[in-house]
Chains A and B, each alone.
Chain A
Amino acid sequence: QSVLTQPPSVSGAPGQRITISCTGSTSNIGAGYDVCWYQQFPGTAPKLLIYADNNRPSGVPDRFSGSKSGSSASLAITGLQSDDEADYYCQSYDSSLRVVFGGGTKVTVL
């Protein structure tokens, strides 16, 4: 049971915009801790996609964007491409002094 809640799957057609939600509580996201997002392909390590709620590391396309409101956060992917098929994880910090992850969302491009 993950501390942060994500939908198990999200799908969209090429070129569409999709969003992935990440719901936490007042002890993590709602406490003001930063949210980051990772992209993971099968058999590989996660790759940092978004940090500090809405910042992209160098090299990450601006099709990926993050937002946060209250105890929830979202990752948006615009102009969906077949290469975006992967698992996506949100992550934050908790007042119990631990890093917490979402359960992951599988993105399918129809």
Chain B
Amino acid sequence: QVQLQESGPGLVKPSQTLSLTCTVSGGSISSGSYYWGWIRQPAGRGLEWIGRIYRSGTTNYNPSLKSRVTISVDTSKNQFSLKLSSVTAADTAVYFCARETTGPSFDYWGPGTLVTVSS
């Protein structure tokens, strides 16, 4: 059973960079034809796709966030990471990592981690 777990600081200051890591267990990032993605959800609001990465390092980003987002993968650690620069209060949200399969659809999700942007 594939499991994902987000980790990283829960509090980030405005204008700084938000950094999160997703650790995958029960399966290898390097196997299968999957993308690995980040999705966020502000409190009481809907889901917003941030971006995704393939094991080769190929990425796609939400155009609305593209200038501030970097997603990377470390296959040796079975992890992928998110960096979001120049954050503001509007970036406060629960951040989920997930496995993307054909469709696309997300079949496995991490439990999510709350990141608050505040001074």
Which A residues have a C-beta under 8 Å from some C-beta of B?
A: 2, 34, 36, 38, 44-48, 51-52, 57, 89, 91, 93, 96-104
Cα(A54)–Cα(B62), bound, Å: 26
Which B residues have a C-beta under 8 Å from some C-beta of A?
A: 37, 46-49, 52, 60-63, 96, 98, 100-107, 109-112
Give B106's nearest chain A residue, CB to CB.
A48
Whether the pair A57, B46 counts as a contact (CB closer than 8 A) is no
Q: Please, which residues of chain B bring their CB within 8 A of the CB of A101? A: 46-49
Q: Please, which residues of chain A bring their CB within 8 A of the CB of B49? A: 98-101
Whether the pair B46, A103 counts as a contact (CB closer than 8 A) is yes
Q: Please, which residues of chain B bring their CB within 8 A of the CB of A38? A: 47, 106
Q: Please, which residues of chain A bring their CB within 8 A of the CB of B110? A: 45
Give A99's nearest chain B residue, CB to CB.
B49
Q: Please, which residues of chain B bring their CB within 8 A of the CB of A48? A: 105-107
Cα(A89)–Cα(B48), bound, Å: 11
Whether the pair A89, B47 counts as a contact (CB closer than 8 A) is yes
Q: Please, which residues of chain A bring their CB within 8 A of the CB of B112? A: 44-45
